[in-house]
């Protein structure tokens, strides 16, 4: 079966009526429909109509029917692909997220012929291709598919899905350093929340909002949102939300390390470890060991303790099959190399991050900052060019991210930085 519905553009129809000096009563009379129906078209209460209805309106107003159709996908009524529905289910999606098998997941979805699917299934497939593209660093593709999914959700009036997609758009823009856009999308997402909205979507919203606040240096607001996301995830009573809880603990660790609240950091890293163990999440266990090694150094514990934790981290990393670049792991590995005096390896790690994050400005700028720190810890090492430092500064100034901007200026005024001072100058 082909196209069954199209979406009417209420704003365009309103403007046409005004230009032709007609009222909704006039249009209703000529179409033999109720005035209430016309009013619903105008205020967007009714968005989907039959194609022939648009044709009739165009005839009455003497305009091309496309003038009053919104540029949204036609809704398709086709049989649901049950195997694909299972593959795109929340359960399978959450398992993909936990196991980090985004490459194979995206490959399967990209092989699907969207035109053979009903509109609702097209919407889910496009959303999931967008999310998997995001995790694989294919940001243009992520934006394209998320926008396509959002348009279908809009045409179907699926408010909960629209809210969910907007959260992922915000997550994408947060990674790209476009914080005002991310906040705008999160605000729009919250506008679609209702009492029926799944807690998992609200929890994800709090998590992303917490991340944006963290980047902007609003530590108290970030902690509040991240903790709220954790609480909502626990209320959901779903094991599949454990990964969101674990990542929230990772973000909280960054904040506590920034402000040197090591007692809270110790509590948080234990919670992260417990959650990662329950999930069987190797990346979380790896980050846990790196964090514990850092804390051992920063709190003046014995060198033996820090070596033990870092040793566990390295062993876990060798045993793990993580084939996707992860900026959090790369950052943890970098600071491990710095704290243990392995400066050549630190430089290799930093250069790789610069290359891998070249399309994500905020992550790239943070890697530049690491390069400046490395040059001060190990004077004479060639790290980053002056033009790169200027570009990083420009990014931090543009988005009013004060802390890394201050660190850059302080580091440039220093001739060297000791290992004991690394925690003062490192931007977690």
pLDDT, position 2: 41
Residue 34's CB: how many other CB atoms inside 10 A?
A: 10
Q: Which of 328, 315, 296 is nearest to 423 (CA)?
A: 296
* Domain assignments of the chain as residue spans, ordered by start: 3-71, 89-197, 324-428
In CATH terms, is domain 3-71 a member of 1.10.645.10?
A: no
CB distance 38 to 28 below 8 Å = yes
Written out in words, the top-level CATH class of the domain with range 89-197 is mainly alpha
Between 199-215 and 179-190, two packed helices, what is the crossing angle to 10 degrees?
Answer: 160
pLDDT along the chain (428 residues), means of 10: 67 85 90 88 80 87 80 59 90 88 94 89 96 94 95 92 97 93 96 91 96 95 97 76 91 96 97 94 93 95 92 86 83 94 95 93 94 94 92 92 93 93 91
Q: Which of 388, 368, 315, 380 is nearest to 344 (CA)?
A: 380
How far apart CA 67 and CA 168 sit, in angstroms, is: 32
pLDDT, position 76: 54
What secondary structure does DSSP assign to 98-143, as a single string? HHT-HHHHHHHHHTS-GGGS-HHHHHHHHHHHHHHHHHTT-HHHHH
Ranges of beta strands (E only) in 8-80 are 48-49, 75-76
Tell me the whole-structure pTM to 2 decimals.
0.80
Q: What are the residues facing 8 on neighbouring strands?
A: 69
pLDDT, position 3: 47
pLDDT, position 227: 97
């Amino acid at each position: 079966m082909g196209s069954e519905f199209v979406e009417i553009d209420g704003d365009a129809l309103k403007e046409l009526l005004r230009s032709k000096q007609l009222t909704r009563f006039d249009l209703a009379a000529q179409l033999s429909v109720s005035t209430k129906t016309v009013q619903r078209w105008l205020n967007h209460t009714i968005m989907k109509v039959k194609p022939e209805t648009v044709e009739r309106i165009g005839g009455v107003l003497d305009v091309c029917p496309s003038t009053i159709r919104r540029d949204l996908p036609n809704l398709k009524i086709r049989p649901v692909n049950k195997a694909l529905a299972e593959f795109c289910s929340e359960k399978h999606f959450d398992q993909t997220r936990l196991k980090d098998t985004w490459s194979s997941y995206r490959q399967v979805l990209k092989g699907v012929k969207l035109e053979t699917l009903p509109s609702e299934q097209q919407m889910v497939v496009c959303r999931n291709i967008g999310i998997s593209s995001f995790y694989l660093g294919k940001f243009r593709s992520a934006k394209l598919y998320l926008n396509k999914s959002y348009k279908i959700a809009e045409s179907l009036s699926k408010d909960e899905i629209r809210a969910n997609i907007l959260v992922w758009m915000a997550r994408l823009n947060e990674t790209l350093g476009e914080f005002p856009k991310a906040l705008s999308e999160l605000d729009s997402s919250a506008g679609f929340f209702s009492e029926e909205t799944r807690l998992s979507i609200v929890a994800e919203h709090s998590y992303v909002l917490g991340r944006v606040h963290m980047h902007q240096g609003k530590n108290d607001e970030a902690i509040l949102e991240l903790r709220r996301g954790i609480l909502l995830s626990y209320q959901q009573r779903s094991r599949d939300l454990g990964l969101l809880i674990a990542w929230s603990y990772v973000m909280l660790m960054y904040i506590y390390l920034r402000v040197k609240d090591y007692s809270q950091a110790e509590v948080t890293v234990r919670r992260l470890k417990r959650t990662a163990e329950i999930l069987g999440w190797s990346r979380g266990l790896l980050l846990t060991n790196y964090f514990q090694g850092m804390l051992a150094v920063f709190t003046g514990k014995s060198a033996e303790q820090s070596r033990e934790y870092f040793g566990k981290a390295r062993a876990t990393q060798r045993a793990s099959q993580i084939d996707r670049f992860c900026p959090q792991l790369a950052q943890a590995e970098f600071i491990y190399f710095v704290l243990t005096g392995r400066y050549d390896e630190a430089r290799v790690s930093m250069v790789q991050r610069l290359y891998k994050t070249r399309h994500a400005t905020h992550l790239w700028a943070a890697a530049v900052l690491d390069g400046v720190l490395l040059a001060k810890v190990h004077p004479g090492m060639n790290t980053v060019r002056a033009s790169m430092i200027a570009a990083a500064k420009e990014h931090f100034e543009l988005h009013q991210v004060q802390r890394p901007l201050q660190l850059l200026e302080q580091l440039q005024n220093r001739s060297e930085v000791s290992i004991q001072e690394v925690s003062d100058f490192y931007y977690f």
